[in-house]
């Protein structure tokens, strides 16, 4: 009796699009009242909270992080919020009080939104933003990169109960980190994050820490949807993916090019099923109404082919050995 031998080969391409991940809450951090918002501390003494994005950032790729931070309404309160990149893990938390939940996290980089003057740390007599590292917030020549500058361009006190819009942008090829608060540039710093801060590690956890001490405030952060947008996608031929513009448009208008194959070239997250490698660009006006241009490169992965040779007859109960040859395309 003759049988035709049928071999099914399932090939898996593990290069899907970057999806929206969840967050891990630590310490006193709680979900906020609105979607994608997190209360890091309540206005109670010696609170200490953190929220970490579950998917690490890749420092070899450019990115921008857009969020709002509310530093509370008590003009004499404390202590502030720190946007942190670190390799300790997504359950890490530092010291409370003047540590702002950041102190002791090493290695790390922190963008500090400090709302309480600690003279022993070299704090200026105003709410300030600074670029610090390795869990140290001492501005007296410690390990900081960017000296403290006034947090709000219009007031020395940012504890006004308002949501302050922050845009942090990392230009990987230029090794340039910039920070804007309420559309006003605050920090622009050249820095080697991978080698100078993280010892060659290019994937880091990121999130926010906050704390109170004897003085208190409620501290809340709200993040935009799809906050981490990739500049490179890898996808298997025939698979669909969703492109994501790097920022939020002020008027909800986008212009993707080339438009061919996109579900809607006028939205932030169009879908497509690519067949060839392609560079896509998207132009829009960001929340500060500044013109913005992002680029996304889509690389189509082609699975290998399996050659089993010519068909052959196999007698029943007679063992046969197959030696397939895989040929990458």
pTM above 0.75, yes or no: yes
- pLDDT for 3 equals 32
Say what the pLDDT of residue 197 is: 96
**Segment 226-260, tens digit of pLDDT:** 666 666 778 888 889 999 887 788 899 999 999 99
pLDDT at site 4: 31
pLDDT at 226: 62
Given this model, what pLDDT does residue 21 score?
46
Distance of CA 144 to the CA centre of its chain: 22
What is the structure's pLDDT at 326? Answer: 58
Residues in the chain where the model's pLDDT stays below 70: 1-21, 141-144, 225-231, 303-314, 320, 322-329
Q: What is the pLDDT of residues 169-218, one digit of tens each?
A: 999 999 999 999 999 999 999 999 999 999 999 999 999 999 999 999 99
Domains and CATH numbers, the chain: 1-18+229-329 (2.60.40.10), 23-223 (2.60.120.200)
Looking at residue 10, its pLDDT comes to 30
């Amino acid at each position: 009796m003759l049988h035709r031998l049928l071999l099914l080969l399932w090939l898996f391409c593990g290069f899907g699009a970057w999806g929206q991940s969840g967050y891990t809450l630590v310490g006193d951090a709680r979900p906020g009242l609105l979607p994608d918002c997190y209360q890091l501390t309540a206005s109670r003494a010696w609170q200490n909270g953190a929220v970490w994005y579950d998917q690490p950032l890749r420092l070899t790729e450019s990115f921008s992080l857009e969020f709002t931070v509310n530093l509370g309404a008590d003009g004499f309160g404390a202590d502030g919020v720190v946007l942190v990149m670190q390799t300790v893990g997504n359950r890490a938390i530092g010291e409370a009080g003047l540590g702002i939940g950041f102190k002791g996290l090493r290695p790390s980089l922190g963008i500090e939104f400090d709302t309480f003057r600690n003279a022993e740390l070299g704090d200026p007599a105003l709410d300030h933003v600074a670029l610090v590292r390795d869990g140290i917030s001492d501005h007296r020549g410690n390990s900081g990169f960017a000296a403290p500058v006034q947090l709000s361009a219009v007031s020395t006190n940012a504890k006004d109960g308002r949501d302050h819009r922050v845009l942090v942008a990392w230009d990987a090829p230029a090794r340039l980190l910039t920070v804007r608060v309420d559309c006003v540039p605050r920090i622009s710093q050249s820095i080697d994050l991978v080698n100078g801060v993280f010892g060659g590690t290019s994937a880091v956890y990121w999130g926010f820490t906050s704390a109170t001490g004897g003085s208190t405030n409620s501290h809340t952060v709200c993040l935009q949807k799809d906050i981490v947008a990739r500049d490179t996608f890898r996808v298997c031929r025939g698979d669909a993916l969703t492109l994501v513009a790097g920022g939020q448009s002020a008027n909800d208008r986008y212009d993707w090019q080339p438009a061919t194959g996109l579900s809607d070239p006028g939205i932030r997250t169009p879908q497509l099923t690519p067949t060839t490698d392609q560079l896509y660009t998207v132009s829009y006006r960001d929340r500060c109404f500044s013109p913005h241009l992002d680029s996304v490169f889509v690389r189509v992965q082609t699975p290998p082919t399996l050659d089993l040779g010519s068909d052959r007859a196999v007698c029943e109960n007679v063992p046969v050995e197959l030696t397939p040859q895989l040929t990458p395309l």
